[in-house]
Structure formats: C-alpha cells, structure tokens
Structure 1
Amino acid sequence: MEKLIDAHIHLDQYDDIEIAALADENEAIEAMVSVSMNLDSCKRNLVLSERFPIVKPAFGFHPEQLLPTEKDLDELINWMRVNKDKMAAVGEVGLPFFMRAENKVTKKDYGRYIELLEIFVNRAKKWEKPLSLHAVYSDAPIVCDLLEKHSVPKAHFHWFKGDLRTTERMLANGYFVSVTPEVAMEEPENITLVQNYPINQIMVETDGPWPFKGQFIGKRTHPLMMKESLKKIAEIKGMKFEDINTQIRNNTTRFFNI
C-alpha cells in the first residue's frame, strides 16, 4: 500500500508525545502538511519540520480569529518571507465564515479580512507557493474572485463545503479540494463533492486534532483515519482502493511539491 499524506493537519496543536508518535508512523505515513494559525504557530511548525522530516509546514494566519494588528501582520509577513523556502504552502488562510455566522464580524471588518487574504494571495503568487484555504459556503466565491484576479494557479480548498456552481468554478480553474474522515461517515456534502470532483484534483486530510463522530467518536484524530476516507472515495468513484490511494498520493505530492 502507498503511504498516506495528510494534506491538512494542525500538528502544532498536538502535544509533544503525540507528535513524536505520529512522526514515528513513517512506514504508513509519508508526510503531514501542518498548517499554521499565527506567527507562534508558524514558528512551532518550522521547528517540528526541522525535527521530523515527515512534517511539511505551511505558514499563514487562520481567519477564524481576531484580525492581526498592523505590527503583528508585518512581523508575520517578514518572517514568512525569510522562511519561504522552508514552507510547503501559504496557509491556513481564508475568510471567517463561522465567526461571521455568529455575528462576531462586522461588515467593515469582513472587508478587512478580504484585504488580509489578498495580501496572502499576492505573497503566494510572488513566492510561487500553493495556498491552503479556509473558504466555505458563501465565502468560497469571494475567494475564487481573488484567485482569478491574481491568476493563482495552485489553490487548495480544505474541508470544502459549497454550492454546485462554485464547485464547478473551482474544478474548472484546476483548484484542489480535500475531504476529511467525514466522507466515511456518509456526510452528504462530502459525498456530493467527491461525486462531482475529478479524482485527479482530490486529496485527503484530517484537520486534526479536530474530533470526528460516527465510527471515530472518542478517538484522537489520527492520519490513519484517512484509510477509511480512501475506502469511501474508492466506493464512490467505482475504483480499486489501491488505485485511489496511488492517485491521491500523487495528487498531493504534485500539488505541494513534496
């Protein structure tokens, strides 16, 4: 069996013992793309990647939090510039859908989140790095607008949920998606996404340590859960598990250049 690659995990949010155990799974796991929340998270992911070659860090600012100050943003961008050759992607970046749904983001601030994302889109284009995006539902078309505006060729919509029109726009532009173990739980939106998306633009992820229900309830999120995701994708696509596993692994290595 081909080794697994987790296209989106918050490895820095696991404790040291868990991280060492995950890194020791190198007979089954080839790589983990560990995305960042902020500058401290970026720095920790960099240290982890230097300690464990299996870790491929992505640097960015997660949108589901308060906007950074101008000083903090400048410090983050400058740090990313210095360390750009060490990162697999710019991420996790995007727009604050869930904060906005909870009325925690004003219309004015939402505009500032869009401006912030455009900064990261520009940097990714300039540095020739892929983007790992947090962009779901009504935010996704806005993100597509930015990607098209700047002619960004490599974009990854992690844990994507959205309408068919946006999905078709994304796949036409060559953007990638990844699905979580939710797909193995018969989660309808994930099933539909896999049905509609071409297999050469799909990856798998855990978004760990985010917990899952169903057969995974009570279990600490682990990249090996992606085996169940792959089995379900193979079923949906009517393909052999081995062929799906190889295709998705190749998709991920090609996308992140790892």
Structure 2
Amino acid sequence: MRKHFFGSAERLHLVLMLALTFSTGVVDAMGYLGLDRVFTGNMTGNVVLLGMAMAGGTSLPILRPALALAFFMLGAALAGRLLRRNGEGWSPQTSAALLAVSLGLWALTVFVLLAPVQADPTLGSTVTSALALLMGTQAATAKRLKVAEITTVVVTSTITGLASDSRLAGGKGTFWQRRALAIALIMLGALAGAAALHVHLALALALAAVIATAVTVTGHVAHRRAEAEAKTGAESPSLARD
C-alpha cells in the first residue's frame, strides 16, 4: 500500500469522506432552515416529512421533498452508471463524479447569490432539486469507495452501530472513532450551515463547494501519484535486469 501524508489510501479516503459528511450537514441545514424544510442529503428525513404531510401535517411541504427524493435517486443512478465498471477505490471516474458535484455547488452558489430563491417558489424548488441531484451523486460515489461506516449523507446506521457494537453492549467497539467522528461532523456541519444562514444562503453553499473541491483535488492528486509510483515500481525490476 502506497504511503503518503495520511499513511495509506484507506486512511485518506476516510478523511475525505468525513469531510463530505460535514458538508452534507451544511447543505441540509441550509435546505431545511432556508428553503422550506427540505433535506437534500438525508432522504430519510424527506420520506418522513412526506408521510406526515400526506396525512395532513400542518403546513408541511410536499412538492420540494418529493422532488428532492426523485432527484437524489437520479443523481445516485447517474453516478452508479458512471462508476459501474470500476472496482473499489479511487478512479478517474470518481474524480469526474466529484468534480461534477463541486462545479454544481459552485454554480448554485452563484445562482443563490443572484436570484431571489427564497421569495420565488419555483426558484427555491429548482435549488433544492439540484442540490439533491448533487448529493445523490456524492453518496453513490462515496459508496463505491467502500469506506466502512461512512456514507456521507446519513448517520442513523452509524449511531446504531456505535451503540450496538460498543463495550457497554458487550461488543468490541469496532470503528467507534470513525463512527463518533461522522456523527459529530454532520452535527457540526449543520451548526455551520445554520450559522451561515445569518449571513446569506450562498455562504453555506460556498462552504460546501470549497470542501467538495478540496476533496476532489486531494483524492485525484493522491490517485495519480499512486499510479505513477506503481508504474515506476513495475519498471524498476526490468531496468535492474538490463
């Protein structure tokens, strides 16, 4: 396994996925608090909201959560098709998928900065649907990296694993550090997103865009470096024989 600043590719991928978990908290806080109570990353929340709304829940939104759910699935499907032929780990397709997420977040940042998305229902629904598309793409891409216990978009299963595998429950506490970090980071991301709303919706999106861009660039550079080292290592024996 190729070594670098983080020690190994697995550790690097863990750090990158934890960063995306934080950014999901940012985006979901922005969507729920700033754009009519809709989650764009946590689809469990949208399903529950839709159920309550259809049962006559007072003033609960239906259209935006439904659109977010549909577009999240579309984003996941598109990323799944793009990454289908690749094995586990980072690949050029991984970089392409996360680059699309990063560029999409930057485009939405500019759009939200210039357009009255909170005043115009159509524009607001466009933003939440686009965000859900990007989060679906991100979640499917993270899934292909196979980082244990990290999905970047939901922590219910992480909380369950943390508790059920804990020493208190008679377990060995496997992965407790990363599970606890994922829970803390999505909460801190939500805190950061809620705080950013006091300035502007665009600030929350810009923060998520910066994180996604950093993750994309870091992962891609590390992957290219590992490929170059592997190629050099494969050529060295033949040079030695010559």
TM-score of the pair, normalised by structure 1: 0.28
Bigger share in strand:
1
Q: Which has the higher contact order (CA 8 A, sep 6+)?
A: 2
TM-score of the pair, normalised by structure 2: 0.30
**CA radius of gyration, larger in:** 2
Bigger share in helix:
2
